[in-house]
Structure 1
Amino acid sequence: MQIIPSTEPFFFQGNRTGILLIHGFTGTPKEMRYMGEDLHKHGFTVLGIRLAGHATQPDDMRASRWSDWTASVEDGFNLLSNSVDRIFLVGLSMGGALSLLMSTRLNVAGVIAISTPYSLPRDPYFPLWFIRLYGKLVKYMSKSNEEPGSSWFDKESYAKHISYPQNPITSIAELKLLLLEMQSALPKINKPVLLIHSKSDNYVLPENMEKIYSGLTNTSDKTKIYVTESGHVVTSDAERQRVFELSREFIRRVENQ
């Protein structure tokens, strides 16, 4: 198994507050690296993990299950725990769903979920059995009907972005299962949560953040914030510095509670 160059996991030693960064579906640790560098520059200890089946070749992802992705988060949490006193989970897209779900299983200080889906697009029309059957006939499908990169505001950053070019269909079934687990977990979350989403996200529509926010019925500390000058991958797009600033402010506030 060979990791795609420049997409390796990363670790930056800082203070006793740890930030576990979790990338998205078909993505790589690279899409969280700008954020990791920013957080470390401001003193935090940062670990950017690689989820099972990612940043190698698409067939590795087809062989992975959603429980492998949660295990990747747990492994990262345990590794980071050796260096810090408290840990925040920060995830992009599916990484946000993993962060929310795993906050009910791990002793975390807080959660930041960015560009996170509540459910798959047109979810009721595609039951699990259908996705699995279709996945036996066809391995991959396109990510979007849009021209690749057209929704990015920062074209230079898009040119450096690395992810699998298509979605493995069997992995979409696993994502659906993961999101169902996340939905069930939302009322159990009692830690501080920050949700960030771009109004210009055409891949995971902004209404997803509203549904997640409404599902967080057991935490008294939940915040939702919209940005505008970015597409889906806001951790790498034009408004990333705003996202980093919002995240740092949230972490500092929760630290001082």
Structure 2
Amino acid sequence: MNKKIFKLVKYTVIIFIVLFFLLLAGVALRLHYVPDLQPWHTFAPNELTVKELEKATWQDYTARENKIFEEVHKNVILKTPESEQNQINRYFKGSKIYPGNFKQDWNRSYLLIPENPKGAVVLIHGLTDTPYSLRHIAEIYYKKGFVAVGLRVPGHGTVPGALTKSVWQDWAAATKFAVKEAKKLTPEGAPLHIAGFSQGGALAVKYALDALEDDSLIRPDRLVLISPMIGITRLSKLAEILAIPSMLPGFEKAAWISIIPEFNPFKYNSFPVNAVKQARLLIADVKRQAIRLGQKDMLKELPPIITFQSIADYTVSTPAIINDLYSNLPENESELVLFDINRDTAFLPLVRPVFVNMMSIMLPGFPQKYKITVIGNSGPNDSGAVERSVEPGGVDFKTRALGLVYPKELFSLSHISLPFPETDPLYGSIPDPEIKDAFGINLGLISNAQGERGVLGINTNLFFRVSSNPLFSYITARIEDIIDTFPQETEKTSAGASASKSKITQKQYGDIMKAADYKDEPF
């Protein structure tokens, strides 16, 4: 018997060693084609710890932030190799996109404080992003008399290497810190909103759930979510396995999903494995917490949530928003707004059939406890945009013309496009002429660049993805309505409403998006 056990152990060890060396060989082959790491990939500044954030003030946070940017200047900017000193490298001081030369560096946290604050909003950006991504949402609130707290989430806005060390608990602690500071700037009883984009949406939901269990936390009156990361279409587990050799000398690049030139002044292009791992862990924690609180019948205390989401999203899972978040919400005037594809575009014959029919399979059954709104074309061969809504407890859509149009060249919105108007100087497709040169580059216009494939050293899909929203004025109007409507008790109208889920699962949606990565191209 002992000999059999010994043989089993021996062969198991041999198989493990063989598999490990096969993994090493495969990773080594892949890394041969990956660019070298630069100072911005290898340096990671020290952020405030969770314990320090619990006691920190806004002055403490910004003081540490200033110190971090000084460290980045010393350890990265001054050490940028000559081969990387070009006009579109954000880490070259002589570059036209070097953030330190801008009138305002949107990589940093900021406060917008009106004369007589009526309320406060905390704005939480997404993974690899910066406070810039929600600047237009902040301006909407500020013009309505709200204090706007634009938080730079730890690990962001500095160098991509910072995300090799960052953990999601740091991000959640920073969110709690920002809410605490926001309430200090408003009168007693003033409304508090949290707006979250992408991963910031998950952090906003996480905070709201935490506030149900912790009476020391201030409960928000409203959540505004834009492309929230309730689920992700491409899970990181395989990337995490492939990153295992990164602990070995010579395999450091294995810790990165992508290493790309940093030509965006307010967003990392390079992506470390740890970043998506932490996003996955955050999402899993939110899901477990929602289930646990639901079993205790505590979710009925959640604030109203409005979500703006593109039906086509390569980054986050639209079905997860319905199945893991909205199906668990109480009847509290929440709303889900879905942007359909453009059905009046010359590219429609090239749109994959699954996306032509996606809205019908995405929507859950009716009636629901929350309002469902679909933004789409008013009809076939009509570029006019309309709003079709079903009230909580209802089954029939009511249609309202918006006076907006889908551009003919646009076949869909995207994950990254929703929070940016077309006039945005960085991401806009029609940048405001007065400020179009504010950041040294117009990424929204790069799709106009053409040439032979293989010439550029990056994936041209980065440019093809739409980065601004021609229907942004609709989002503006909806948020303004929310601000003007102070939370109040409403009559329950959805008796008998179901908690049914989307007809498509998160896995099915992820498989659909993966299928877009064509490998067998003809030319």
Question: Same fold by TM-score, threshold 0.5 exceeded?
Answer: yes
How many equivalent pairs are there?
A: 243
**Where do residues 120-159 of structure 1 align in structure 2 (5 Å cutoff)?**
120-123=232-235, 126=237, 130=241, 133=244, 136=247, 138-142=254-258
Of residues 86, 90, 94 in structure 1, which corresponds to 2:199?
Answer: 94
Partner of residue 153, structure 1: none
Q: In 1, distance between residues paired with 2:135 and 2:265?
A: 11
- Indicate the residue corresponding to 2:479 in structure 1: 247
**Matches of residues 30-109 of structure 1 in structure 2 within 5 Å?**
30-84=132-186, 85-106=190-211, 107-109=219-221
Greater CA radius of gyration, 1 or 2? 2
Q: Contact (CA 8 Å) 1:11, 1:48: kept in 2 or not?
A: yes
Query: Structure 1 residues 128, 67: closer, same or farther in 2, change over 3 A?
Result: farther
Alignment CA distance shift 1:47-1:135 (3 Å): farther
> Using a 3 Å threshold, how does the CA distance of structure 1 residues 23 and 135 change in structure 2: closer, same or farther?
farther
CA shift, 1:162, in A, is: 2.3
1:113 counterpart SS class = strand
Task: Measure the CA separation in 2 of the matches of 1:198 and 1:141.
Answer: 25
Q: Which amino acid aligns with 2:473?
A: Q
1:171 is aligned to 2:275: yes
Q: Secondary structure at the match of 1:117?
A: coil
Q: Hey, what's the Cα distance between the residues in 2 that align with 1:232 and 1:191?
A: 24
1:194 aligns with 2:298: no
Unaligned runs of 5+ in 2: 1-67, 73-98, 100-104, 212-218, 341-411, 421-467, 490-523
Shift of 1:205: 4.0
CA distance in structure 1 between the aligned counterparts of 2:318 and 2:111, rounded to whole angstroms: 31
Change (3 A) 1:119 1:128: farther
Q: What's the TM-score, normalizing by structure 2?
A: 0.43
Match of 1:183 among 266, 287, 302: 287
Q: Offset at 1:256?
A: 4.6
For the Cα contact (< 8 Å) 1:116–1:208, is it kept in 2?
Answer: no
Shift of 1:63: 1.3
Once the two structures are superposed, what CA deviation does each residue of 1:156-190 show, in whole Å capped at 9, x if it has no partner? xxx97721002210121111110011112334542
Structure of greater relative contact order (alpha carbons < 8 Å, 6+ residues apart): 1
| Aligned-partner SS, 1:104 | helix
| Unmatched 5+ stretches in structure 1 | 149-158
Cα 1:42/1:211, change in 2 over 3 Å: same
What is the alpha-carbon distance in structure 2 between the residues aligned to residue 170 and residue 134 of structure 1? Answer: 14
- Which residue is 1:231 aligned to? 414
Inter-partner Cα distance in structure 2 for 1:180 and 1:65: 14
Are 1:21 and 1:90, in contact at CA under 8 Å, matched by a contact in 2? yes
State the shift of 1:28 in Å.
Answer: 0.2
Q: Please state how far the C-alpha of 1:129 moved relative to its aligned partner.
A: 6.5
Kept after mapping to 2: 8 A contact 1:7/1:29: yes
The one-letter code matched in structure 2 to 1:7 is N
- Any conservation in 1 of the 2:209–2:289 contact (CA below 8 Å)? yes
The amino acid across from 1:185 in the alignment is Q
RMSD value over aligned CA atoms?
2.8
User: Taking every aligned residue pair, what percent have the same amino acid on both sides?
Assistant: 18
Q: 2:123 aligned with 1:21, yes or no? A: yes
How far apart, in 2, do the equivalents of 1:247 and 1:83 lie?
Answer: 21
Return the TM-score normalized by structure 1: 0.82
Once residues 154 and 477 of structure 2 are traced to their aligned partners in structure 1, the CA distance between those partners, rounded to angstroms, is: 29
Q: Distance in 1 between matches of 2:127 and 2:169?
A: 14
Offset, 1:220:
3.1
Letter in 1 for 2:289: A
In structure 1, C-alpha distance between the alignment counterparts of 2:309 and 2:243, rounded to whole Å: 29
Give 3-state SS (helix, strand or coil) of 2:202's partner.
Answer: helix
